[in-house]
Amino acid sequence: MIGELSPIDKAKYVAARRAADMVQDGMRVGLGTGSTADWMVRRLGERAQQEDLKIKGVPTSTRTAQLAREVGINVVSLDQAGWLDITIDGADEFDGELNLIKGGGGALLQEKIVATASDQMVVIADAGKEVETLGAFPLPIEVIPFGWQTTRTLIEEVLDTMDVLGTSTALRMIGQAPYVTDEGNHILDLHLQRIGNVRQLALVLNQVPGVVENGLFVDICDQIVIGYGDGRVEVRDINEGTTEVDQPTEGGENLFADLAD
């Protein structure tokens, strides 16, 4: 299986593994959604089996909840868990201040609620997700179905006043039908190209009637774990102002030994 993994998948795997190993016995853990988060959930399941790691996992989507149960993680709701020790999740983009665009997987609302209900948010990503300025990845906005076209018009009017390069919007579709989130809402993807002021945009978008939440995560992420295709892992801590780099083991292959089965 090692040979079948692309460099990007290897990068996602090493980042997810490094972050999952931050989790300690007895923790209440927010479990993110997405391809990188899936690796993290599987690693926590391995630790539960191999180390008798006991945690309470709060998933950010029905997809993550199903995977967590399959790998043996004790799944609870956020209300049951209360406050969380740590949330580990992926990102579609991140900048030098660890601001994020999230929501490519459609779970931005639950992801933001869970992340902000945690002592620490750790983001896992491959190195290709880092950008100088957010906006190349379409910004997801969750909107209620009622009057969504009016909401879209209001958003486009707002964008005309913002420091962005593009203002086009698109309703996310699955085949011929609108995509529906776990909360029964729709998602508008904003093709902005570049966002000049992420804090301002995040605040203004949430004032538009019909908008439930936006995919800008500002001042939420505490650490980011960046994986590289050669097995290197970089850990940046925005609060401590530190950066650590873990080198791959000699030969690189044994990093992925547990994938062989």
For the sheet with 74-75, list strands across it.
74-75, 56-59, 28-31, 86-89, 121-126, 223-227, 233-237, 242-246
Strand partners, 227: 126, 233
C-alpha separations of 64 from 60, 61, 73, 105, 131 in Å: 7, 5, 11, 11, 27
Task: Show the tokens assigned to 79.
Answer: 């209300």
Active site residue 130: no
Among residues 112, 121, 90, which one has the least CA distance to residue 181? 112
**From the candidates 4, 93, 111, 213, which is the catalytic residue?**
111
Among residues 123, 227, 243, which one has the least CA distance to residue 235? 243
Strand partners, 141: 188, 214
Fill in the DSSP letter of residue 114: H
CA distance 231 to 214: 33
Among residues 109, 121, 112, which one has the least CA distance to residue 19? 121
Among residues 114, 120, 94, which one has the least CA distance to residue 218? 94
Indicate which residues carry an active-site annotation: 111
